[in-house]
Amino acid sequence: MTIPLDNSLLIGPAGWNYKDWRGIVYPQHRPRGFQELHYLADFFNLVEINSTFYKIPALDSVANWLEQIRDKKNFRFSLKLFQQFTHADYPPQREQINDFCAILERLQRESRLAALLIQFPWRFKQTAENRAALFKLLNIFADFPRAIEFRHDSWMTEDTFDRLRQADVGFVNIDEPPHNHALPPSSIVTTNFAYLRLHGRNAAMWFNDSSTVAQRYDYLYNAAEMESIYENIKAIRNKTAALFIIFNNHYRGQAVVNALQLMAHLGDQPLIPVTLIDHYPQLACIGRSKADEQLSLF
């Protein structure tokens, strides 16, 4: 079964500014004026902005992002909520709420916002107190498309899904290493779009306190695993036309590799960075290299 790649099926990586992507995803020697996001937008129609989890950016930065993808009319951003809202022991300040809403408003005004990603940590378990905090937070961002990522399986209940449907909030289906109370693979849809995040399955590093972020997400899905992901995508697409798929196994461009493989599996002939083929030669047979595309213009 071929699933058409269109503006209702958005695929891309989580983030784009990684030092270990240089010479792999991006050219080692960059021409003057090279912009990473602009380059990446040649290959994907979605990117998840995860830097906003660590710091609320200035509106000038948002304007720069928008300018870099100005000529990509179908390109969208999902935006990860600042960690003060989801991971801190005390609530965000009014200024932080206003600043983050201003970013969302700018992206939405430009028709570039796919969804606001609200990701909670594993320790955020389902309790009456946490349910109240969750829906209080959701109300703050009621003017925007919202998607909730839980990490603890206590939230995997029909009551949770019904409450999200009533609030018109998306449930984020995730793929992660199996561990105690991890969420299993799922195809749940609770609003007019679905969201799938793939974190890799590096179980050895996932809960290792000494591991770095790069080590946790150092994983390349193999062919059999990609097949199971594809089957899950078909199940989701049977429930909704709009699906956002983000690969978060970003170390050394592995998210880009798997995203391109998925696009090829779905029936596309993706454009591939030529430097990426040098490091992952298995990509050569599934699409067109960036260099080939440039040559075809002459």
Across residues 143-169, what is the average pLDDT? 98
At 209 the pLDDT is 84
Position 297 scores a pLDDT of: 38
- Mean pLDDT in residue range 242-246: 98
| Mean pLDDT, the chain, integer | 94
Of 85, 35, 36, nearest in space to 56 by CA: 85
171-201 exposure pattern, b = at least 16 Cβ within 10 A, e = fewer:
bbbbbbbeeeebbebbbbbbbebbbbbbbbb
Q: What is the C-alpha separation between 150 and 142, in angstroms, rounded?
A: 19
Asked whether residue 66 carries a pLDDT value surpassing 80, the answer given is yes
Taking the model in full, what pTM does it have? 0.94
Sign of the C-alpha dihedral computed for residues 118, 124, 125 and 128 taken in this order: negative
Give the pLDDT mean for 69-98: 96
Q: What phi and psi, each to the nearest 5 degrees, are found at residue 14?
A: -90, 110
Q: How confident is the model at residue 277 (pLDDT cuts 50, 70, 90)?
A: very high
Q: What is the mean pLDDT of the segment spanning 286-297?
A: 64
**Confidence band, pLDDT 50/70/90 cuts, at residue 2:** very low
pLDDT band at 208 (very low <50, low <70, confident <90, very high): confident
pLDDT value, residue 292:
47
Q: State residue 6's pLDDT score.
A: 58
pLDDT above 60 (res 175): yes
Instruction: List the domains of the chain with CATH numbers.
Output: 9-295 (3.20.20.410)
How many whole angstroms separate alpha carbon 242 and alpha carbon 3? 12
pLDDT for residue 290: 76
pLDDT of residue 293: 52
278-298: average pLDDT: 75
Q: Please, which pLDDT band fits residue 291 given cuts at 50, 70 and 90?
A: low
- Mean pLDDT value of segment 183-201: 97
Q: From residue 128, give the alpha-carbon distance in Å to each of 81, 105, 124, 125, 172.
A: 23, 31, 12, 10, 21
Contacts of 293 (CB under 8 A, 6+ apart): 271
What is residue 101's predicted lDDT score, i.e. its pLDDT? 98
